[in-house]
Amino acid sequence: MAEQEASGLQVLLSTLQSSCDKDVILNILSVLTDLLSLGTGRRIHYVISKGGSEALLQALTTAARTEPLDYSTLLPLLCLLARVGQRDRKFGLKVQKAEATDIILSLARRNLGHHLHLTHCLWVLRVCASNVTTGTTLGINGAMELLFKVITPYSKRHVRTIRAAIEALAALLKSKSNSRRAVNRGYLGGLLRLYQDWHHKDVSNNYIYIRRGLLLCLKHITNIQLGRETFLGSQGMEILFTSVQDCLTCKTLDPIITTVTQILRKCYPKESLPVATVRSSYFFLLPGNAKAEPPCEGSEGDYESDGEEEAEKDLDNEDVESKEEDYDLETDVNKLRSRPVLDRPEEELGQYEAMCPELSHNFQELESESEEEKSLENRTESFPSTPSRFIPSATSVKHPNYRLRNQSATEMGPDPGEKDFKVPLQNWTKKEKCRWDLSEEKRDIVEAAQDADSCEEEDPARSRTLTLHPLPNEAAWYKKMFYPECEALINPSPGGRLESSDIVTTLLEKHQGDIPFHSPCFYIARAKCVKSIPDYKDLAFPDFWGHQSPPYTKPMLERKYGVQRDKVLDDVRRLIQPGDVIGRTVFDLDEASHSSPGAPGCLTFFSKFESGNLRKAIQVREFEYDLIMNADVNSNQHHQWFYFEVRDMKLAVPYRFNIINCEKFNSQFNYGMQLVMYSVKEALQGRPCWLRAGHDICYYKNHYRCNAAAGGDTRGKCYYTLTFSIKFPHKDDVCYLAYHYPYTYSTMMSHLDILEQNRNPKKVYWRQQTLCQTLGGNPCPLLTITAMPDSKKRDDLEQFYNRPYVFLVARVHPGESNASWVMKGTLEFLVSSDPIADLLRKCFIFKIIPMLNPDGVINGNHRCSLSGDDLNRQWLTPNSQLHPTIYHAKGLLYYLRSIGRAPLVFCDYHGHSQKKNVFLYGCSIKETLWQAGCMVDTAVITEDVGYRTLPKILDKVAPAFVMNSCSFLVEKSRESTARVVVWQEMGVLRSYTMESTYCGCSHGLYKGLQLGTQELEEMGSKFCLGLLILHLKSLPCSKKVMAQAALLLDLEEEITDRAQRSCSNSVLETDDEPPCVEEIDYNADSCSDGEEDFSELDQEIQECLSWVEGETEDDEVTAGQTCSSKALRGLYISSQPVSNSTALPLRSTALGVHSGFESRPA
């Protein structure tokens, strides 16, 4: 049947090409018109596939050569060509092949006086010009001159013809040679004047499509450099900026506003960032012969994707990029198979035996427990446990200002062979508790000071004096808060500084913290031993004081309509109305003179503290500042993480901040994400919280470029602006702003100290060792956590030694602080007294590296280590000198594999800035080959699908986790990441990257909410719960373990259903973000403007046909034109064939049942 219908259509088209009978041709055109005017575009595509375009072009060529011209045939032909041609991607080439370009131009010239006929010709001309080559040919043959005659001068007569001519001109100007020709002939100025005429005289906004068409012409002309220069010289910026101000209040004018905004952004004169060089302000001399060279620049996706494990896509090339993404999939089966090879001599693996003391421990303490340990156990039993379904909000924030002199030596940890890591403070196990009382705090301060003295004796370079910056000078407020004894803090003597112990004691006396797992004293003790390149002498108050999760979760920020274009127009105002622009540098890492307090009424910025990142601050207007982030050390890129202090603000004033050197092409800031803010005054009043903050947030491409002199290999790189406004909660407060909840290296180290001290040593086996020293001289801790054996009986010890390993790492990318919060939740759960945690410890031995890139975290990097390398791209061949943490982490994994103890699960904790939710990336041979379109012989390629078990479990037990966001593809560009290397070289089936969003969730219990630290920590504990369920489902377990599990877990309830999640997680989530409320072209040089929407031209044609039925175009249309138009109605809008025709009496219903068309008859 399908063949019969196809042959029927082919007979029609063949007859149309060959017949000279007017009635036959009109009959066929009537059938085709009916056929293509109903239903969807599938019909047109089917006609195209059967040679419809060629048949119509041939018929047009034949009809155009007949004298006199028969418009009863030509008009329906032209109408059909316009409908079919706009959906035929090769239509322009077919027009050239049929030699129809001159015919169409000739028809248009002959009908300059007949606007109905001319409109039909212009429709086809527009469709032909969609092909750049054909458009260039038309331009050479005088098409633009013809169109300018039609659209000028300004007139409201024959507006449909003018609209068709303007849209055809816009299509022609997509050709750069046509744009150049238009500029050289002065058409750009004419278009500007014509646009002004239509803008001023279209008071009722009846001709928006004409005004927008003129703007599209200007947009295409300004795609070339000559066009932009001429546009600027013709005062185009001023003209369009002034005109768009009249449109902002009318929502129906959004198409005009959007196009104007795109033109203004594109034509804004490009300039370099206001820095001497885009390379980092910090430099680190690499060991040996290695030199810190600028990294090789790849595409934007190359250096922006990995921790996100997904290449970014240019919005204007999504189809191309998606093909390239499939091409990136590894299709070589031999490379996908496990490759157990060594990258180092086998004898080197012996050094890692000392990092597995649990395998040789004799557990003598099980029989000879000291009284001190018993006392500690009794104390820890009263320590609040960590429930399995709730993670206590943790501390750790980065910002009190502590002045350190000669910030230097990090505490040099013991050799890897040592079983215990010695912490700086003396006798912490005996004297410190989680809930601190004042007497113990004072004692800790004394001990910390004693420790500092001992440090100084060992190494004089470590000597430093710790003080906090003076807090805001508001005496009345502080007297009320601190009483008179704190006045010295407010007004320190000019010649000296207060000792940190005095300040800390005063603060803690009046504000005793109640933050679990955090002690300011522990933090100071750890922070003063950190080694940094800038030699930090200040400590951020939030890190010192701590962070407590607020009692509520904030919803994603609702995007204010038009916020982005308002910001862009505000930027343009700087250029054309610079009267109120201040342009004063108020903070500069490169110039110490700019780092002092600024002028009255000006904000004061600061960022020289651990994890801080702000390079320069420029006051643009009274309440607006441009901010520039520092590049990663020894690099000239990776600008995303920011963390800085700001003070001297006014109350209830919206301050606008513009971070102008972002690199990613899009951001979750466009989809509801907010930055975080910490207020010192709020903290001192009992609310020490990092809170989501900011309004009018958007992210867009700006006019800054990187030139060769400033950036070396990054010449021509585009930058993006993150802009946000904030009203600070207090006058003259000290506030901290950050990309995400900060988590410093010192926070982690002090957190580990507290966990070790508060664990139950009879139940929790804990060893903290040093994996290695980093490039910067900071110890990278390695943890071993499991359950102590029940006794020294042979069976119990054998069960202990034979427990499978789980290997967890985090924070290889310094800017992904969310990974540390998830890891924090994992660690607190593992050492807690929760019975599920106790059972989990009995099932596994955990090897954990909580921070793989300490140097990057300390120095405020976003992605790299001090070597300027992305450490998650070094796992294939790590260098022992440049990438020590990766080299030794991989060595430890090699060792475990060599003794037959390869981990059951490996997971690398990351953060993702482009997607919502929490999800896993894994590795699968079959899924990769299937996605790449390769044939998979299941008899040859066998694969254990157990890699999917853990994500499926997490999807059920973790509210923030979404299985549908997970991916198990192996890409060539990811072959050197931890996930892929551990999977291939260690043979670990369950090797994952866990990605946590910076933003929030689109599914499940937290749908529509931004994730806070409590939710991230909860994810860490839920990951542990998932591991336990995985063990119970996948591995043989003893009856004892199963009995304990049965008491603690209802597995059916845990693994099968969650009422809050089942309804929402069934919807497949796509990788791409949903569109913004307001679509703005992120690539200002793009031609993507939406004018190719098929329905637009179809609607225009239908409107014109309705006009042919008898509607007048405007008041000036003559009666003769209307009557002649009515006479044409039956020729190509009637559903019936011509009454006196006898040839080919076919109706459109004859083709209505073909599978390619609508199922119902036409």
Handedness of CA 523, 529, 533, 535 (dihedral sign): positive
Per the model's pLDDT, the better-predicted residue between 702 and 1139 turns out to be 702
User: How many whole angstroms separate alpha carbon 675 and alpha carbon 673?
Assistant: 7
Residue 1018: phi, psi to the nearest 5? -60, -40
Residue 467 is predicted with a pLDDT of: 54
Residues counted in the chain: 1162
Per-residue pLDDT tens for 730-764? 999 999 999 999 999 999 999 999 999 999 999 99
Checking if the pLDDT of 620 tops 70, the result is yes
Beta strands 695-705 and 271-272 are parallel
Residue 995 annotated among the catalytic residues of the structure: yes
Q: How confident is the model at residue 326 (pLDDT cuts 50, 70, 90)?
A: low
The pLDDT value given to residue 1077? 41
Distance (Å, whole) CA 916 – CA 998: 8
- β-strands 764-773, 690-693 pairing: unpaired
pLDDT for residue 92: 87
**Residue 240 neighbours by CB under 8 Å, 6+ apart:** 215, 218, 260, 263, 264
The amino acid sitting at 67 is E
State the Rg of the chain over Cα: 35
Query: Would you call 518 exposed, middle or buried from its count of C-beta atoms within 10 A (0-12, 13-18, 19+)?
Result: buried
Mean pLDDT across 428-444 = 36
* Range of 30-34, 562-566, 594-598, 977-981 with top mean pLDDT: 977-981
* Nearest Cα residue to 978 out of 988, 966, 965, 963: 988
Q: Are 709 and 1037 in contact (CB under 8 A)?
A: no
* Dist. CA 259–CA 215, nearest whole Å: 7
- The share of the chain scoring above pLDDT 70, in percent, equals 71
Mean pLDDT of all residues in 1000-1025: 96
Distances (CA, A) of 1150 to 658, 856, 1154: 63, 71, 9
Position 1132 pLDDT exceeds 50: no
Q: Could you tell me where the beta strands, DSSP code E, fall in 694-844?
A: 695-705, 718-727, 734-738, 764-773, 779-787, 805-810
Nearest to 1144 by CA among 6, 5, 12: 12
Residue 412 has pLDDT above 60, yes or no: no
- Long-range pairs, 1093-1101, Cβ under 8 A, ≥24: 1094/41, 1094/86, 1094/87, 1097/82, 1097/83, 1097/86, 1097/123, 1097/126, 1097/127, 1097/167, 1098/83, 1100/123, 1100/160, 1100/163, 1100/164, 1101/79, 1101/82, 1101/83, 1101/123
Tell me the H-state helices in 875-1012: 884-898, 925-931, 949-957, 978-985
Q: Are 875 and 886 in contact (CB under 8 A)?
A: yes
User: For residue range 827-840, what is the model confidence (pLDDT) as tens digits?
Assistant: 999 999 999 999 99
Which has more pLDDT, 452 or 746?
746
- For tokens 């060539």, what's the residue? 972
Mean pLDDT of all residues in 1137-1155: 36
Q: What sign does the dihedral 608-611-616-618 (CA atoms) show?
A: negative
Report the distance separating Cα 655 and Cα 627, nearest Å.
Answer: 13
DSSP per-residue letters across 66-101: SSS--HHHHHHHHHHHHHHHTT-TTHHHHHHHTT-H
Please check the confidence at residue 1112 and state whether its pLDDT lies above 60: no
- Please tell me the distance from the alpha carbon of residue 505 to that of residue 501, in angstroms, as a whole number: 6
Q: How many distinct helices (H) and strands (E) make up the chain?
A: 47, 19
Residue type, 471: L
From the list 149, 148, 163, the residue with the least C-alpha distance to 208 is 163
Q: Is residue 626 within a helix (H) or strand (E), and if so which, with residue range?
A: strand 624-628
The encoded tokens of residue 670 equal 């466009």
Joined tokens for residue 493: 């003597």
Which of the residue ranges 188-192, 301-305, 511-515, 530-534 would you say has the lowest mean pLDDT? 301-305
Omega before 153 within 30 of 0, i.e. cis: yes
Handedness of CA 1134, 1136, 1139, 1141 (dihedral sign): positive
Predicted confidence at residue 686, as pLDDT, reads 87
Query: What is residue 430's predicted lDDT score, i.e. its pLDDT?
Result: 28
Residue type, 1147: R
Q: Return the number of other C-beta atoms located less than 10 Å from residue 221's C-beta.
A: 26
Residue 444 banded pLDDT, cuts 50, 70, 90: very low
Given a cut of 60, is residue 157 above it in pLDDT? yes
Least confident of 69-73, 472-476, 766-770, 1127-1131: 1127-1131
H or E element, residue 572: helix 563-576
Please report the pLDDT score of residue 483 as a whole number: 41
Average pLDDT over residues 578-590: 92
d(C-alpha 903, C-alpha 906), whole Å: 6
Q: Which stretch of 232-241, 375-384, 624-633, 1024-1033 has the lowest confidence by average pLDDT?
A: 375-384
pLDDT confidence of residue 708: 58
Residue 203 has pLDDT above 60, yes or no: yes
- CA gap 823, 851 in Å, rounded: 9
Please tell me the number of Cα atoms within 13 Å of 62 on its side-chain side. 17
Cβ atoms < 10 Å from Cβ of 723: 27
Q: What's the CA gap between 673 and 679, in Å, rounded?
A: 20
pLDDT of residue 839: 93
Residue 401 has pLDDT above 70, yes or no: no
Of the candidate ranges 505-514, 606-615, 658-667, 760-769, the one whose mean pLDDT is the lowest: 505-514
The per-residue pLDDT for 399 is 33
When pLDDT is averaged across residues 887-906 and rounded to a whole number, the result is: 96
- Give CA–CA dist 985/81, Å, rounded: 60
447: which 2 tokens?
């001990």
> Please, what sign has the CA dihedral across residues 645, 647, 653, 656?
negative
- For 123, the token pair is 């429709």
Would you place residue 1161 in the very low, low, confident or very high pLDDT band (cuts 50, 70, 90)?
Answer: very low
Q: Write out the H or E segment, with its range, that includes residue 606.
A: strand 604-606
Query: Strands 805-810 and 845-849, how do they pair?
Result: parallel
Segment 219-241 shows an average pLDDT of 95
Confidence of residue 496 (pLDDT cuts 50, 70, 90): very low
Q: Can the peptide bond before residue 68 be classed as cis, meaning omega within 30 degrees of 0?
A: yes
Strand partners, 847: 784, 807
Neighbouring residues of 253: CB distance < 8 A, sequence distance ≥ 6: 205, 208, 247
Q: Which helix (H) or strand (E) holds 505?
A: helix 500-510
The CA-CA-CA angle for residues 378, 379, 385, to 5°, reads: 100
Least confident segment among 66-75, 289-298, 379-388, 860-869: 379-388
> Which two three-digit tokens encode residue 713?
């290999």
Which pLDDT tens digit goes with each residue over 527-554? Answer: 989 999 999 988 999 999 999 998 889 9
Predicted confidence at residue 487, as pLDDT, reads 40
| pLDDT of 986 strictly over 80 | yes
pLDDT at 929: 87
Q: Say how far apart CA 633 and CA 1006 lie, in whole Å.
A: 37
Q: What is the pLDDT of residues 267-276, one digit of tens each?
A: 999 999 999 8
- DSSP SS3 for 2: helix
Residue 288 is given by DSSP the state T
DSSP H or E stretch at residue 693 = strand 690-693
> Tens digit of pLDDT for each residue in 1045-1097?
777 776 444 444 443 443 333 333 333 344 444 444 444 333 344 444 556 77
Q: How far is CA 556 from CA 321, 674, 1002, in A?
A: 29, 8, 10
Mean pLDDT of 360-375: 56
Mean pLDDT of the chain: 78
CA–CA gap between residue 154 and residue 993 (Å, rounded) = 62
Assess contact for 1020 and 825: CB atoms under 8 A: yes
**Predicted local distance difference test score (pLDDT) of residue 652:** 87
Q: Which of 48-62, 150-164, 421-435, 986-1000 has the highest mean pLDDT?
A: 986-1000
Catalytic one among 300, 610, 995, 1100? 995
Q: For residue 717, what pLDDT is reported?
A: 81
According to DSSP H, which parts of 781-858 are helical?
Answer: 794-801, 817-830, 835-843, 854-858
SS3 1100: helix
Asked whether 159 and 118 are in contact (CB, 8 A), the reply is no
More confident residue, 509 or 89: 89
How far is it, in rounded angstroms, from Cα 968 to Cα 946? 12
Look at the block and give the residue holding tokens 């410190």. Answer: 432
Name the band, by pLDDT with cuts 50, 70 and 90, for residue 863. very high
Q: What average pLDDT score do residues 610-634 get?
A: 95
